[in-house]
């Protein structure tokens, strides 16, 4: 444990600013995301599960829970709803009977791809991306979030960033 090298005021100001800024950005992302997937009769958790499974080429419930930042029961219950719609299947692996794995069906892959096409056609409705364009114009790229990644790594661990990197590699390869 490192010695405390900050004041109570610094800690409170940092926590307050981090909470307010991240909540403000998340609320807008949430609104944009809900508007994006609503025409496909999906909610955020369902779409996030499809997204994770698609880009990781299948995933365990625990991976979905960890990467989706949702409780295991939430990941399982929303996955069950997607299974009822025949968008994914559950399985056990011969070498790992303890974990439940999820793979998208062809219908699930098609639906996810349709959502991505809708996203591509509706980027002008993505408020956070639109708000980031002045930074892209100024610096020639979108923000990269290195400091935020360092904070997330401390909270959720290296495995979280590994899964993020796998999904990013999949997105780069596909688009």
The CATH number given to whatever domain includes residue 118 is: 1.10.10.10
Number of domains composing the chain: 1
Residue 61 lies in a domain: yes
Residue 84 lies in a domain: yes
pLDDT (tens digit, 9 = 90+) per residue, 10-21? Answer: 999 999 999 999
pLDDT (tens digit, 9 = 90+) per residue, 126-164? Answer: 999 999 999 999 999 999 989 999 999 999 999 899 888
Distance CA 3, CA 1 (A): 7
Q: Are 63 and 104 in contact (CB under 8 A)?
A: no
Residue 25 lies in a domain: no
- Residue among 95, 50, 44, 69 at smallest CA distance from 159: 69
Alpha helices, DSSP H, located in the chain: 8-37, 44-56, 61-67, 72-84, 106-121, 127-139, 146-156, 158-174
Count the Cβ atoms, other than its own, within 10 Å of residue 20: 10
Distance CA 165, CA 169 (A): 6
- Average pLDDT on 103-126 reads 93
Q: State phi, psi for 68 to the nearest 5 degrees.
A: -85, 0
Residue 130 lies in a domain: yes
- For the sheet with 59-60, list strands across it: 59-60, 96-104, 88-93
- Average pLDDT on 82-99 reads 90
Q: Sign (positive/negative) of CA torsion 95, 99, 105, 108?
A: negative
Residue 2 has pLDDT above 70, yes or no: no
Residue 93 has pLDDT above 60, yes or no: yes
- Average pLDDT on 41-66 reads 93
Distance CA 21, CA 9 (A): 18
Length, in residues, of the chain: 175
Residue 79 lies in a domain: yes
pLDDT (tens digit, 9 = 90+) per residue, 115-127? Answer: 999 998 888 889 9
Residue 12 lies in a domain: no
Distance CA 124, CA 149 (A): 26
Distance CA 88, CA 86 (A): 6
More confident residue, 34 or 96: 34
Mean pLDDT of the residues in the chain? 92
Q: For residue 168, what are the domain limits? A: 31-174
Residue 9 lies in a domain: no
Q: Of all residues in the chain, what percent carry a pLDDT higher than 90?
A: 74
């Amino acid at each position: 444990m490192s010695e405390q090298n900050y004041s109570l005021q610094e800690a409170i100001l940092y926590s307050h600013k981090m909470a307010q800024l991240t909540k403000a950005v998340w609320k807008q992302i949430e609104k944009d995301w809900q508007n994006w997937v609503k025409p496909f009769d999906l909610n955020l958790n369902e779409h996030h599960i499809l997204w994770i499974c698609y880009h990781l080429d299948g995933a365990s419930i625990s991976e979905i829970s960890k990467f989706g930042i949702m409780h295991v029961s939430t990941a399982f219950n929303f996955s069950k709803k997607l299974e009822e719609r025949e968008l994914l299947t559950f399985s056990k692996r011969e070498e790992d009977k303890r974990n439940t794995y999820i793979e998208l069906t062809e219908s699930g892959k098609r639906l996810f791809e349709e959502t991505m096409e809708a996203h591509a056609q509706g980027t002008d409705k993505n408020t956070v991306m639109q708000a980031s364009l002045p930074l892209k114009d100024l610096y020639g790229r979108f923000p990269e979030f290195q400091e935020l990644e360092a904070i997330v790594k401390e909270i959720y661990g290296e495995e979280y960033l590994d899964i993020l990197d796998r999904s990013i590699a999949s997105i780069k390869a596909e688009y």
